[in-house]
């Protein structure tokens, strides 16, 4: 896949190429870098996409993008510099977003023609972790380009596609949605050869209207896969299992619970070590003659929480389907640590306090999983029982059921015998009342007005050996509370790279 020239870009997006004065006879340089919608992220030789967003107009930053080395800008109107001359080569189109998606679509088809495989995945929880595991697994098979962080919407997906190179053999695309038709639109940009649906839950149900609507939206992904493709479905989730009827592709069912009945890839013998990391036996019937014994291999995840077994099994199914041997699949899974920030990000402070920052996002399902992981970490490596703290902020976008769901989370924390519950913010007040109604007393459960108050409380009360879970929706901002707790003591072993992320669709 050779780099596109500006003239070729113009042809793909049905735009007009404008050259700077004095360059009419010279063809501008081909694109040699990825695309960017932020001038601060421009890579020399790349494309700057001048989108108009809610808070900024990319056209105001075209000059800065060329100063940073952009080879071409995609614009809705020509942009000039301070001297009145055209700021640089520009392709002018009627709609920048439509052109952006058209260019990404053309790139996907060029990659596919060169033999690349497109993998799309969705789910109400676990998408980013599964995407990171998939990137590691498929990277063992060949050059892989994957969604950075959680950039899984109408901007992030085209950006990911346009970051692919001629070496890319696997393109892994996380797909999110905030309503009906969103995933279908993403699939029109990048039709997947392999699709994964993890689960259907209550994330953003306030925007969708109901869990049934979430199910319909997630099912748009398997619907987009052709008869020659593969759809991986976690059939432990009834709503996901029935999506088999919505695709003409080969269905590859997986399970992380029970005996593996009806599954081609599944896990058994799940156990948690004192750090809350899961070990399990991975089984596969793929490529096994009827009646023969399935193959199996042991996996020891470096990720915290039993819920990550389901993510690992789904990722393993894709890798196995695409040709990675079972033993190698188990090795890669066992070697893969956290790759995206604020997802069960564990830091052991030098003073003996363990901070678990899982505050990138939250919904009832993910909060329940995080609380269970916290409880699994109660017994330390030395066998002693440690105090556990659940610092919980609001779960956003739950609609009319928000109060009831927060109440249930508080009750669950008490039933799991979490030592201390701290509900943060007005939106999490029902977490506190739920804990009280379940029988929490004294200072076992408290409500504080904001993150600053929570930080002050924790600084006063934490002692060596304590384990602190920080969990909330991204918009509640508790991930910064987690960062502050880590900064309170020189870390002995942080996990996960430093990066900043914005809100993403579910």
**pLDDT for residue 372 is more than 60:** yes
Contacts of 465 (CB under 8 A, 6+ apart): 352, 353, 380, 384, 386, 387
Binding-site residues sit at 123-129
What is the rounded CA–CA span in Å between residue 246 and residue 221?
9
Binding-site residues for ATP sit at 123-129
What is the rounded CA–CA span in Å between residue 424 and residue 442?
17
Domain with CATH 3.40.1390.10 in the chain: 6-94
**pLDDT for residue 490 is more than 70:** no
Averaged pLDDT for residues 353-380: 92
pLDDT for position 501? 36
pLDDT for position 202? 85
Q: Work out the mean pLDDT of the chain and round it to a whole number.
A: 92
pLDDT for position 258? 79
pLDDT for position 262? 93
What is the rounded CA–CA span in Å between residue 309 and residue 303?
9
pLDDT for position 495? 42
Using alpha carbons, select from 480, 148, 128 the residue that is nearest to residue 303: 128
pLDDT confidence band for 497 (50 / 70 / 90):
very low
**pLDDT for residue 57 is more than 90:** yes
pLDDT for position 150? 85
If DSSP codes are grouped into helix, strand and coil, which group holds residue 40?
helix
pLDDT for position 1? 66
pLDDT for position 55? 86
Q: Superfamily for 99-335? A: Mur-like, catalytic domain (3.40.1190.10)
The model's pLDDT over 173-193, given as tens digits with 9 standing for 90+, comes to 999 998 999 999 999 999 999
From the candidate CATH numbers 3.90.190.20, 3.40.50.1820, 3.40.140.10, 3.20.20.70, the one assigned to the domain spanning 345-493: 3.90.190.20
- Of the ranges 60-69, 85-94, 292-301, 496-505, which one carries the lowest mean pLDDT score? 496-505
Quick check: pTM over 0.85? yes
Whether CATH 3.40.1390.10 fits 6-94: yes
Contacts of 241 (CB under 8 A, 6+ apart): 233, 234, 235, 253
- The neighbouring-strand residues paired with 348 are 354, 493
SS3 content of the chain, % helix, strand, coil (to 5): 35, 20, 40
Query: How far is the CA of 228 from the CAs of 13, 154, 172, in angstroms?
Result: 29, 26, 18
Domain with CATH 3.40.1190.10 in the chain: 99-335
pLDDT for position 27? 76
Query: How far is the CA of 112 from the CAs of 116, 117, 163, 481, in angstroms?
Result: 5, 6, 15, 43
pLDDT confidence band for 79 (50 / 70 / 90):
very high
pLDDT for position 342? 86
User: Cβ(445)–Cβ(420) under 8 Å?
Assistant: yes
**pLDDT for residue 378 is more than 70:** yes
What is the rounded CA–CA span in Å between residue 384 and residue 110?
57
What is the rounded CA–CA span in Å between residue 358 and residue 339?
13
pLDDT confidence band for 23 (50 / 70 / 90):
low
Using alpha carbons, select from 479, 262, 197 the residue that is nearest to residue 357: 479
pLDDT confidence band for 22 (50 / 70 / 90):
low
pLDDT for position 338? 86
Q: What are phi and psi of 432, to 5 degrees?
A: -65, -45
pLDDT confidence band for 428 (50 / 70 / 90):
very high
Averaged pLDDT for residues 153-172: 97
**pLDDT for residue 382 is more than 80:** no
Q: How many CB atoms lie within 10 A of CB 58?
A: 23
pLDDT confidence band for 21 (50 / 70 / 90):
confident
**pLDDT for residue 238 is more than 90:** yes
Averaged pLDDT for residues 324-343: 94
């Amino acid at each position: 896949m050779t780099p596109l020239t500006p003239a070729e870009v113009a042809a793909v997006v049905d735009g007009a190429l404008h050259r700077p004065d004095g360059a009419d006879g010279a063809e501008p340089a081909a694109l040699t870098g990825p695309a960017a919608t932020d001038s601060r992220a421009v890579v020399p030789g790349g494309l700057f996409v001048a989108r108009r967003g809610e808070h900024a107009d990319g056209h105001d930053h075209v000059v800065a993008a060329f100063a940073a080395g952009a080879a071409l800008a995609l614009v809705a109107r020509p942009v000039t510099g301070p001297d009145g001359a055209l700021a640089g080569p520009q392709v002018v189109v009627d709609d920048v977003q439509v052109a952006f998606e058209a260019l990404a679509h053309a790139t996907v088809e060029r990659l596919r023609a060169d033999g690349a495989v497109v993998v799309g995945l969705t789910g109400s929880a676990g998408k980013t972790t599964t995407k990171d595991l998939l990137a590691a697994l498929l990277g063992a098979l060949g050059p892989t380009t994957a969604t950075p962080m959680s950039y899984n919407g109408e901007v992030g997906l085209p950006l990911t596609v346009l970051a692919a190179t001629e070496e890319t053999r696997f393109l892994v695309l996380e797909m999110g949605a905030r309503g009906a038709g969103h995933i279908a639109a993403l699939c029109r940009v990048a039709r997947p050869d392999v699709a994964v649906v993890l689960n259907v839950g209550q994330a953003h149900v306030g925007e969708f209207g109901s869990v049934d609507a979430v199910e319909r939206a997630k099912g748009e992904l398997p619907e987009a896969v052709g008869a020659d493709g593969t759809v991986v479905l976690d059939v432990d989730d009834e709503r996901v299992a029935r999506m088999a009827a919505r695709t003409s592709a080969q269905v590859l069912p997986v399970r992380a619970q029970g005996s593996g009945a009806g599954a081609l890839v599944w896990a058994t013998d799940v156990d948690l070590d004192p750090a809350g990391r899961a070990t399990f036996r991975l089984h596969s019937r793929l490529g096994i003659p009827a009646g023969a014994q399935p193959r199996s291999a042991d996996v020891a995840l470096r990720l915290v929480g039993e819920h990550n077994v389901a993510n690992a099994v789904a990722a393993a199914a894709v890798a196995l389907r695409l040709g990675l041997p079972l033993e190698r699949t188990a090795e890669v899974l066992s070697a893969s640590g956290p790759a995206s920030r604020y997802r069960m990000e564990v830091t052991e402070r030098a003073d003996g306090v363990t901070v678990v920052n899982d505050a990138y996002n939250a919904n009832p399902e993910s909060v329940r999983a995080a609380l269970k992981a916290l409880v699994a970490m109660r017994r330390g490596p030395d066998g002693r029982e440690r105090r556990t703290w659940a610092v919980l902020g609001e779960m956003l976008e739950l609609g009319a059921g928000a109060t009831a769901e927060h109440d249930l989370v508080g009750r669950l924390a008490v039933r799991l015998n979490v030592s201390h519950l701290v509900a943060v913010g007005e939106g999490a007040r029902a977490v506190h009342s739920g804990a009280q109604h379940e029988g929490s007393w004294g200072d076992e459960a408290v409500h504080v007005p904001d993150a600053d108050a929570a930080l002050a409380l924790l600084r006063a009360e934490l002692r060596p050996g304590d384990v602190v879970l920080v969990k909330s929706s991204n918009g509640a901002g508790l991930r910064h509370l987690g960062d502050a707790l880590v900064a309170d003591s020189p870390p002995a072993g942080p996990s996960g790279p430093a990066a900043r992320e914005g809100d993403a669709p579910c």
